[in-house]
Structure 1
Amino acid sequence: MSQEFTGKIIAVSGASRGIGHGIAAAFAARGAQTVLAASSIENLETAAHAIAGTGALRPEICAADLRTEEGCKTVFALVSEKFGRCDVLVNSAGATRAGAFLNLPEEAWHDGFALKFFGSVNLCRLFWPMLKASGGHVINIIGGAARTPDPGFLIGGSVNAAMHNFTKGLSGLGKQDGVNVNAILPGLTETGRVAQLFQQRAAASGKSIEAERQAQIEREGLTRLGRPEDVAALAIFLCSESARHIQGTAIAVDGGGTPGLY
């Protein structure tokens, strides 16, 4: 496998599980020193052990509450003190709730924006000088709900739409500063997070979890759910020199599930 990211420092939020972990593992397999950030030290240790077990460099880990500015500063401090540079920042943290609109409490809305939106904003703001110095990359992992409103997923759709706008706006600064800023919009992907979403949808609809899962697959016309490595492959490409002319775009990895024109 190519070692194109040897010597590069890659910081990934939400990297203890799911898509974030898949992306971190893919960069590590290509020679990068990864830094995994998430809230659970136990999950981070398990993730780091799994990546190191493949023969890749053992990741550094940072347990922090990324819903807060202080938590984001903790991640930045670790990267700054240990490496003094950052080449790629991947914002993959965030798990917004599904459910019936009238049953979603206010705190669920605040929590959804705090982790996914404000966590990404704070990390981008903190890491930007390093990324500018290295001519680096920002990849925001958003989600197909940014483009496909769904009454059963209003928190996620609202947060994802805000992330979409933020990414495009930040890419304008990226053009000035030499930082590539792009987004990936995964569709339904085989992670614990998606299993939880099906549970929430089932609770709201009164259907079984398997019925909700199958209905969603049929609704989007999919042959299978996505896998973390599908998203990771695109992240690797977008952070390569081959993709340097791709700036301010959002690419769906959803098996064609997005119904609109873009």
Structure 2
Amino acid sequence: MANEFSGKIVVVAGGSGGIGRAIAAGFAAEGAQTVVTAHAHADAASDLGGDGSWLRPDVCVGDLRQEDGCKAVFDFVAQRYGRCDILVNAAGATRAGAFLEQSSQDWQDGFALKFFGCVNLCRLFWPLLKAGKGHVVNIIGGAARTPDFGFLVGGSVNAAMHNFTKGLSGLGKVDGVNVNAILPGLIETPRIEQLFTQRAAASGRSIEEVRAEQIAKDGLSRLGQPEDVAGLALFLCSERARHIQGTAIAVDGGGTPGVY
């Protein structure tokens, strides 16, 4: 796919770290101009220029939990480029924990960033995506399909985002915008270490015990890498994937136990 995305404008919400950063780097390597969002100024995004042959990304700082923060990202892209070809929603880090010990704020924060941030960005960017017959990829998570009483906030947020993505894909059929989702499993990022820490605190076990249990539970040979998710994101935004619409694909090493 060498330079397949040359000249494209790609917005990656949550692109300064983890899976989002790998996706932004993948698009940049294929010639895209990337715009990554970060809650605070992120030097981590500064080296997405690779060996100097890639276009340096724009870093747009804003709080996507607030509609004004989403609007600031949109205004930045609209004023600088006047277009958006691809929107990837990868922001959000919902908390694991014991249900009876989690606060209302945990629930509100979980929905505010991952769900409403995605909804607001999709709504704002939709006219540009429609004009360019673009793509939306929402990075959700396996808990959308597999409930877990130790991850009720995340599972609920993911399920809502999953439903939203499928519904939005119907509008995408009308407007010529491809809308799909990726459901990552256990991916080796600082985020997964945070989740292991939260689960350990809630269960009274060590982080190492929780890690081993999760890997064994899913029957995995290894944790996934951010690049495993990025490769699929790039494919879903390619012309070869135009007939894939409203689909959620798991990247979890086969860890999802159910049919769907």
Decide: shared fold, TM above 0.5. yes
Please tell me whether residue 210 in structure 1 is matched to residue 208 in structure 2.
Answer: yes
| Aligned partner of residue 183 in structure 1, secondary structure | strand
**What's 1:226 paired with?**
224
Residue deviations 1:219-251 (CA, integer Å, cap 9, x gap): 000000011000000000000000000000000
Q: Which amino acid aligns with 1:22?
A: A
1:52-110 deviation digits (Å, cap 9, x = unpaired): 13321100110000001000000001100110000000000000000000000000000
* Contact kept in structure 1, 2:33 and 2:57, CA below 8 Å: yes
> What SS does the corresponding residue of 1:181 show, helix, strand or coil?
strand
| Counterpart position of 2:161 | 163
Which SS does the other structure have where 1:35 is aligned? strand
User: Which position in structure 2 is the counterpart of 1:249?
Assistant: 247
1:10 paired residue number: 10
Q: What is the CA deviation profile of residues 6-47 of structure 1, one whole-angstrom value per residue up to 9, with x for unaligned ones? A: 000000001110000000000000000000002020x2x331
Q: Which amino acid aligns with 1:33?
A: Q
The question of whether the paired residues in 1 share the 8 Å contact of 2:85 and 2:132 is answered with: yes
Give the aligned length: 259
Q: In 2, Cα distance between the equivalents of 1:218 and 1:80?
A: 46
Q: Give 1:50's aligned residue.
A: 47
Q: Deviations over 1:130-174 (max 9, x none)?
A: 000000000000000000000000000000000000000000000
Q: What amino acid sits opposite 2:23 in the alignment?
A: I
Indicate the residue corresponding to 2:94 in structure 1. 96
Equivalent position SS for 2:20 = helix
- 1:1-80 matches, within 5 Å, as 2-41=2-41, 43=42, 45-47=43-45, 49-55=46-52, 56-80=54-78
**AA in 2 matched with 1:18:** G
Q: CA deviation at 1:200?
A: 0.2
Which residue does the alignment assign to 1:126? 124
Which digits, 9 at most, give the CA deviation of each residue in 1:116-137, with x for residues without a partner? 0000000000000000000000
How far 1:204 moved relative to its partner?
Answer: 0.5
Aligned-residue identity in percent: 71
| Long gaps (5+) in structure 1 | none
Partner of 1:239: 237
Q: State the SS of the aligned residue for 1:149.
A: coil
CA contact (8 A) 2:14 2:91 kept: yes
Alignment of 1:174-185 (within 5 A): 174-185=172-183
The amino acid that maps onto 2:40 is: S
Provide, for residues 157-195 of structure 1, a one-character-per-residue CA deviation record: whole Å limited to 9, x for no partner. 000000000000000000000000000000000000000
Question: Helix, strand or coil for the counterpart of 1:190?
Answer: coil
Q: Which residue does the alignment assign to 2:79?
A: 81
Measure the CA separation in 1 of the matches of 2:73 and 2:21.
16
Where 1:112 maps in the other structure, the secondary structure is: helix
- Structure 1 distance, partners of 2:210, 2:223, is 13
Match of 2:259 among 250, 256, 261: 261
2:188 corresponds to which of 187, 190, 196: 190
Q: 2 CA distance for matches of 1:53 and 1:197?
A: 30
- Structure-1 separation of matches of 2:202 and 2:121: 34
| 4+ runs deviating over 6 angstroms | none
- Distance across 1 between alignment mates of 2:184 and 2:51: 25
